[in-house]
Amino acid sequence: MQEEGEDYLTIFVTNDDGILAPGIEILALVAQSLGDRVIVVAPKTNQSGKSQSISLCQPLTVNHHDEGSFTEAYSVLGTPTDCVRLICAGAFGVQPDLILSGVNDGANVGSDLYLSGTVGAAREAALHNVPSIAWSTENMGTQFVASLVKQYLPSLKAIAIANPGIFYNINFPKSGGEHSAFTEPSAPCFADRAVRVFEDQILVLRELSGEIPQGSDMACLMAHMTSVSPVEVTTQRRIGNRRTVSMVR
């Protein structure tokens, strides 16, 4: 936690794709380039779709991570929410000013908010009253993602810190993204279809179904804009207003 006289924040970074995923390295390095102390605490293995699940009744294995470009990093044999709980419990000797989760490879919009481990980590942080931002992208090109994180992180960081108890769900489109809007998480607009692959194996496919509401996160991505959805953890509803987010440009 930022002490009096310090001119930097302590930012923890996690994800659900695992500590070796490219998105977390991009996010951590951009945050570090802004002059803050950045500590990476992420799952050792891919934990996509884990939502806000935790490991019950067992100790968590935590190891220093020496690979990649991280200054301070730890891998956790657990879920993204396990990582956030460790952070908030003081396991790394300092309290967080901000928790960033991502950048996830693939958008997390609409009902994905209830399934994503990336979003689940940000939600867990908000439940601890720690400012948090979840980041996801439809395009994991390194330069594309890095440029948009650099554009939005400084102002979103300030907005998140001013509004604890809310997490911000950010989604980058396949292209564009230089303009942004506050959005509502889409109402469920997917339908699941079961496909029998083998006699004892069934694959569940998720397909787009129904109209995409205007002002929603999905509509924003389809317009090649960056979606910013503030979500209050107590009600899982977006708060704020719908104006274009000129402040985060």
pLDDT band per the 50, 70, 90 thresholds, residue 247? very low
pLDDT digits (tens, 9 = 90+) for 97-140: 999 999 999 999 988 888 999 999 999 999 999 999 999 999 99
Residues composing the chain: 249
pLDDT of residue 54: 84
Structure tokens at 107: 């958008």
Please state the domain extents for the chain: 10-242
CA 248 to chain centre: 17
- SS3 assignment for 7-66: CCCEEEEECCCCCCCHHHHHHHHHHHHCCCEEEEEEECCCCCCCCCCCCCCCCCCEEECC
pLDDT of residue 234: 73
pLDDT band per the 50, 70, 90 thresholds, residue 8? confident
Has domain 10-242 been given CATH number 3.30.565.10?
no
Structure tokens at 80: 């993204």
- Which amino acid type is present at position 99? I
Angle, helices 22-33 vs 142-161, to 10°: value is 60
* Position 237 pLDDT exceeds 90: no
* Position 5 pLDDT exceeds 70: no
Cβ of 191: how many Cβ atoms within 10 Å?
11
- Which amino acid type is present at position 143? Q
pLDDT of residue 68: 73
What is the reported pTM?
0.87
pLDDT digits (tens, 9 = 90+) for 172-202: 999 999 999 999 988 666 678 899 989 889 9
The span from the CA of 102 to the CA of 89, in Å, is 21
Average pLDDT of the residues in 153-175: 96
pLDDT band per the 50, 70, 90 thresholds, residue 9? very high
pLDDT, averaged across the chain: 89
The span from the CA of 207 to the CA of 17, in Å, is 22
Q: For residues 66 and 76, is the Cβ–Cβ distance under 8 A?
A: no
pLDDT of residue 23: 97
pLDDT digits (tens, 9 = 90+) for 73-91: 999 999 999 999 999 999 9
Structure tokens at 244: 């274009």
Structure tokens at 171: 């989604």
